[in-house]
Structures are given as C-alpha cells and as structure tokens.
Structure 1
C-alpha cells in the first residue's frame, strides 16, 4: 500500500479525509511506512528530522505548538545540553495532547505566547514554530528555577558572541516579561 498525499505529520482524521480507512492506517503503521507519536497522530517515516518529529506531530494536533526552552536553545545552537525530551509550549488553557513520549509540555500565558514566535520550514509542506533566540533566553531566565540559571547564562554568553546579536532586541523582548527584565539587565551588564 502506498501513502496518499499526506503531510509529513498527520492525524487519523486527516488520513481518513485523504481516503484511508483506519485499518489501512494500521497497515501502514505495521509495515513501518508511518510511526505513531501520540494518540491518533502519525509521521511519515523518513520525511522529517527525528528531532523535530514530536513538534511536527504536536503541531498536527495543536497548530500553536512551539519549540521552547532547552529544545529551542539546541535548535539555535545556544547550548550543548541534550534535553531528555522535546520542550513544547502551548497557550495556557489548551489541553496537552495525549500519548506523547519524551515531550515536556509547557503552558505559557496566552497574552505573551506569540512574542518572539517564529516559523521555519522543517520539510516540504511543513512549517513548524520555534521561539526566537531572544525569547528563548528570556524564558530561560524567567524559568531559571526549573531550567537552571547556568543554562540561561550559558545561552546568553553564546548569543552575545554571535555576530548580529543585539542587547537592545533582547531587552525589547524582556520588557514584556517584567519579572525577568531585572535579571536579564544585570546579566547583560556583567557580560558586556
């Protein structure tokens, strides 16, 4: 059986809309042409970088899904840490999808959720979201009690050394998060 025109990550409902019956989807799963990543969500085998597969599957279920924190730092090459799972943010109030292994779900305030949220092309016909380096650094400082202050400071040091990084841009993002702003100002003063 061949795969019809399905996105690299798709839901069971999308497969049905493309003309596949549930037993055909399970046949594709059995033959290894697709992989299940969560409850009723699948990815085409080999169609996407395995590191981005959980985000792609989460995006198929919740379009607002966004790569954040350590996973976003890794995406932006601002850390050497390899997270145990993929950090994915959703607006607070949205239910986290079920059945995902090795995903750490984060709930961010809906009023600031879109600040620094960028999209990138992960595969043909697949756009995913990740927080910008500036937003990710701000989030690491905001959540230093969970992520560790060393993660935030290391990312900030690496980011500052990059050509084109702008402390003013970082402070503009941080201004939307008043509790994190003083810590980020203090860290910038120490590093610059």
Structure 2
C-alpha cells in the first residue's frame, strides 16, 4: 500500500510501472477496490477526493495533447443544457487521433495553426487540471460546426455566452476571423444583440 500512496490521485499504468509497481500489484489494487479504473490504463485512488469531471480526467490522461471542445465544453461552461453522450476532444490535424472507447469519446481534428487558440483549463479534480477551450472558442467552434451540431445549439450557446458576466463580443469576432467563420458569427451576434 505504501507504493499506492506515493502515486498521484489519478495515474496511468505507465506511471505506476515507472515507480516500480508490478502489474499484478496494480490489478490487485483494482480488484480489492483500492483504485478505480476510469478508463483502460487510467486509475484513481479510491480514497482520493471526488473528481468533478472524472471522464474528462480519464480522457486527458489517455491523450495529453487533446483539448476538450464543442458540446462537452459547452456543458462544462453551462452554455448548453444538453448532456453530451461522449467526451468531445480536439487533436491537431497531424496528430493520430486516440482510440478511446470508455468513456465514450468523439475526436475532432483541428488545424495546427489555431489549435491552441482559446486554450484554457479546468480543475477536473482537486489539483488535477484538464485542457479545455474557453467559452468564446467553444461558441465559435459550435458556430463553425453548426452543420453537424445544428444551428439551435450554436445560437443558444452564443446567447448564453452574451448573458455571462465578462462576455466579450469583440473577442468572438476576432476569433471568428481567425477561424474563418466571421460572416455567420457576425450575423448571429447582430440578431442576438437586437433581442
């Protein structure tokens, strides 16, 4: 057990092996309930403080370069009432998309040039952080992918964003320009602000 307490609250199999834990010991901890397997090869100590976003934490450890995006980010920021059926993440276009079956994960490939535009992070568990696009980037991505997700989701997210304290419409327009969706965003912004 002393080896377990020396590991982070959430850790991967490779982290445990790197600290001298034998695979049999790791799986004994799992079978005895000392750790919970969040995803294949990702474990969390059973007595660790509860994680606010265990699925996001599991996906982040499986794919450290990934950034939480789209519907999942909208749910985190309360830009949507929709409960996503999968964790949506973005990876750079040149990166091989991770294959994660649990938790269910949907991968988007975003252009390398603007991949980290709007990058932020949230605390998924105490002192454990996950990369996520900020609210403005989330709105812009929903507008860019409105053909896939539907216009109602994109427009509702925009309206909720505008009602937030600290909403910055000029930032939305600047980001929309960089992500080549200025026309639709400007039009939706004009309609939303006229209401």
- Asked whether the two chains share a fold, i.e. TM above 0.5, the reply is yes
Q: Distance in 2 between matches of 1:122 and 1:144?
A: 27
1:188 aligned partner: 189
Q: What are the residue-to-residue correspondences of 1:1-192 with 2, within 5 Å?
A: 1=1, 3-45=4-46, 47-49=49-51, 52-92=53-93, 93-178=95-180, 180-192=181-193
Deviation at 1:48, TM superposition (A): 4.3
Is the partner of 1:175 in helix, strand or coil? helix
| Structure 2 unaligned spans of 5+ | none
Change (3 A) 1:126 1:55: same
Q: Distance in 2 between matches of 1:110 and 1:9?
A: 29
State the number of aligned residues: 190
Runs of 4+ in 1 over 6 A off after TM superposition: none
Deviation at 1:126, TM superposition (A): 1.4
1:57-82 deviations in Å (ceiling 9; x for gaps): 22223222211111101111111111
CA RMSD, Structure 1 to Structure 2 (Å): 1.9
TM-score (norm 1): 0.89
